[in-house]
Amino acid sequence: MSFWAVLLIGVGLSMDAFAVSVASGCRLRQVTLRDALRPGCWFGGFQALMPVLGWLGGTALRPLVDGVDHWIAFGLLAFVGGKMILEAVRDHGENQTAVAPGAQSSHDMFVLAVATSIDAFAVGISFSILRMAILGPAALIGVVTFVFSVAGTLIGCKVGGFLKNKAGVLGGLVLIGIGVKILLQGLR
C-alpha cells in the first residue's frame, strides 16, 4: 500500500478524534497550548498503538484467511467507515457535552482515546491480513491523528460544533473508498 493510501487511512481514522477534539474545543473560551496538545497526545498515541495491536492479532489469523484477505480488508474498512458515517448522521449534538480538554481527567482522556481508536484496531487487522509492515503506517496514523486533534481543539474553540458531524462523514467515506480500492486490486 502506498504512502498516500496510508495517509488517507490516517485521515479517515483521525476523524473521530478530530470530532471529539472539536466538540471539546467548543467548550473553551480560550485555548492554551496544553489544552490543544493534550488530546493530540492521547488520541495520536492510541491511534498509533491500536493498529499495532490489531496487526498482532491479525498475524495469528493470517493462515486462515489467505485467498479472501481482500474481501476481509474491504469488509472491515467498509464496516468501520459505515459506522463512522451512521454515528455522524445520528449524532444531533448528544456528544456536545464533552468536557473541555483542559478539564478532563486522565481517566476521561483514556476512555475517549480508546473509544476513538477502536477503528484503528480493525485497520491493523486488515494490514496484517494484507501482509503489510505495521510500524511505519502506525506511526503515520498516530502523527496524522495528533495533528488533527490539535487542530480540532483549536478549530472547535473558534467555530463551535459546525464541523463535528461533517468530519465523521468524510472520514467514513475515505475508509470505504480505500476498502473498495483494496477489493478491486485483490479481484484482479
* Per-residue model confidence as pLDDT tens digits over 18-30: 887 877 777 677 7
pLDDT surpasses 80 at 88: no
pLDDT score recorded for residue 99: 43
Residue at grid coordinates 467507515: 81
pLDDT tens-digit profile of 36-49?
999 999 999 999 99
How many beta carbons lie within 10 A of that of residue 143, not counting itself?
A: 17
DSSP-assigned letter for residue 99: P
**In 66-129, where does DSSP find H-type helix?**
69-90, 106-129
Amino acid occupying residue 169 = V
Q: Which three cell numbers stand for residue 147?
A: 495533528
Residue located via cell numbers 467548543: 26
Q: Which residue, chain included where needed, has cell 498475524? A: 59
Arithmetic mean of pLDDT over the chain = 82
- pLDDT value, residue 97: 42
Domain count, the chain: 1
% residues pLDDT > 70 (the chain): 87
Range with the poorest average pLDDT among 19-23, 30-34, 93-97:
93-97
Q: How high is the pLDDT of residue 98?
A: 43
- Residue-range definition of the domain harbouring residue 8: 3-187
The residues, any chain, with a CB within 8 Å of residue 31's CB and separated by 6 or more, are 25, 153, 154, 157
Instruction: Dump pLDDT digits (tens) for 104-146.
Output: 678 878 888 888 888 899 899 989 988 899 999 999 999 999 9
pTM of the predicted structure, to 2 decimals: 0.72
Q: How far apart are CA 51 and CA 67, in angstroms?
A: 22
**Phi and psi angles of residue 104, each rounded to the nearest 5 degrees, phi first:** -80, 140
